[in-house]
Amino acid sequence: MPQSIFNPADRAALIRRVGTVTAASPRHWGRLTPGGMLAHLSESARMALGDLAIAPRRGPLRFPPLRHAIIHWLPFPKGAPTAPELVARSADDCGREAETLKALVERLAQRQGAAEWPVHPAFGALNERDWGVLAYRHMDHHLRQFGA
């Protein structure tokens, strides 16, 4: 089974890694700062919770076979475009933002078993399994961006 935010061990490992990010964490690629990355992940969690509305985008990512391949198998590309709403803010206090992100991840995990999930702005309608894998892989991608 793929790693997922809904798997307690996978989630605990992500949360531990979030706690290692500091303002001095070196960036290995991209333009985000450590605080910007943590804020981006927090906003992404709010989107997955349905707390942050993101304008939908049309495109090939809604095609089910491509969507499934990207969410479950293909490596996430470095420098892929993202919704402006997900990079609209940065965090000055990495410690505070890390705590916010950890709490949001736990809230997201508590949604396991929910009957309805928000529509992803790029991928369209996702089921719980897709959301869990996508959330895990997205966080892992950005934590690796800063060596965490």
pLDDT of amino acid 92:
85
Per-residue pLDDT of the chain (148 residues; tens, 9 = 90+): 799 999 999 999 999 999 999 999 999 999 999 999 999 999 999 999 999 999 999 999 999 999 999 999 999 999 888 999 999 988 889 999 999 999 999 999 999 999 999 999 999 999 999 999 999 999 999 999 999 9
Angle at the Cα of 28 (from 85 to 144), degrees rounded to 5?
70
pLDDT at residue 134, rounded to an integer: 98
CA distance 88 to 67: 25
Alpha-carbon separation of residue 6 from 9, 44, 102 (angstroms): 9, 16, 14
pTM of this prediction?
Answer: 0.95
What pLDDT is attached to residue 74?
A: 96
What integer pLDDT is reported at residue 104 of this predicted model?
Answer: 98
Which pLDDT belongs to residue 90?
84
CA distance 68 to 41: 21
What does each C-alpha distance from 102 to 30, 143, 144 come to in angstroms? 23, 13, 17
pLDDT of residue 120: 96
Count CB neighbours of 103 within 10 A. 13
In angstroms, rounded to a whole number, what is the distance separating the alpha carbons of residues 90 and 85? 12
Distance separating alpha carbons of residues 139 and 48, to the nearest angstrom: 13
Confidence at residue 91, expressed as pLDDT on a 0 to 100 scale: 87
Would you state the pLDDT for residue 62?
93
